[in-house]
Structure 1
C-alpha cells in the first residue's frame, strides 16, 4: 500500500466502513412498523363446506356428462390400418356395418378423423366423439 496517496487511503477506508455498515443497516427492524389492517372485520368462513363425496364419486379423467353421444350417432366397432395414412373405421349404422374413411358419411354423420381409441363425427353443427367398444370412456 506504499504506492497509494493519502486521498486514496481515505477513499479505501470509507469504502470499507460502508461495506461493513450497510448489511446490518439493511437487516434492522423498521422503527415505525405499524401495519394498518385493510379489513376491520374477520373473514367469514363458508356456511358449510361442499360435500367431498361428489368429488370422490366422479372419475378423474372422464369427459363431462354434457359430451354424451347423440342417440342416433354411429357405433364404432374398430379402427384398422395406420392412423394418418390408410386407417379406416368399422362402423355400425342403421343400415348395417360399413367401412368408412375420413370424409365418408353414414346416417348423415360424416367421419372427420380417427384416433387410436375413437372416431370423430360431425353432422351440421353437432360433433360427436364415438369411443371404441370396451374403452374406459364408454357410457
Structure 2
C-alpha cells in the first residue's frame, strides 16, 4: 500500500527541516554571510568634564545644597497633628508667644500656611516661600519615644 502525501504535509515537513537546519547553518563559519560591523560609539558629550564619582555621592539627592534658614519673623512650628492631606493642622508659636493651630490656608503674623509635610510646614508671604522644620529635641529622641526603666 502506497502512502499518498498531501501538499500541506510536504510544506509542513519542509518548514520543520528548515527550522532545524537554519541555526546549524548560521553557526557554521562563513555560513551566515558577512555580518556588518557597527560603527564605533563616540564618547559622550562632556566626557572630559564629568565630576569625580566621589563628588557625586557627596551632594544631596533632593532639594537645595545648603539648608535655607527661615526668616526670624516666620512662625515657629511646634508640631503637626492629624493625617496629612486629610485633616492635618500645624501647631505654631506666633511672635507674641501664643500657640495656635493653623489649617492649610489660614495665616498668622502675615504668613499663610501653604502645605504640610511629615517633618515641616511651608509658609508663604507674598512671593516668599519658606520651609519651617519641626524642632529636634537634644539627644536625638523624639517626644514620647523615651524608654522607661523598670
Superposition TM-score, scaled by structure 1 size = 0.62
Partner of residue 5, structure 1: 4
Q: 1:82 to 1:15 in 2, by over 3 A?
A: closer
Q: Does 1:109 align with 2:111?
A: yes
Q: 2:133 aligns with which of 128, 131, 134?
A: 131
**Conservation of the 8 A alpha-carbon contact between 1:100 and 1:111:** no
Superposition TM-score, scaled by structure 2 size = 0.58
Deviations 1:27-80 (A, max 9, x none): 4553323526357xx759627x6345544444x55631366244232221222x
**Conservation of the 8 A alpha-carbon contact between 1:118 and 1:131:** yes
Partner of residue 37, structure 1: 39
1:118 positional shift? 1.5
**Conservation of the 8 A alpha-carbon contact between 2:92 and 2:102:** no
RCO (CA 8 Å, sep 6+): is it higher in 1 or 2?
Answer: 1
Partner of residue 89, structure 1: 90
Q: 1:121 aligns with which of 120, 123, 133?
A: 123
Deviations 1:89-123 (A, max 9, x none): 23233332331321321221111333332212122
The answer for unaligned runs of 5 or more in structure 2 is 141-150
Structure 2 distance, partners of 1:93, 1:23, is 79
- SS class of match (1:130): strand
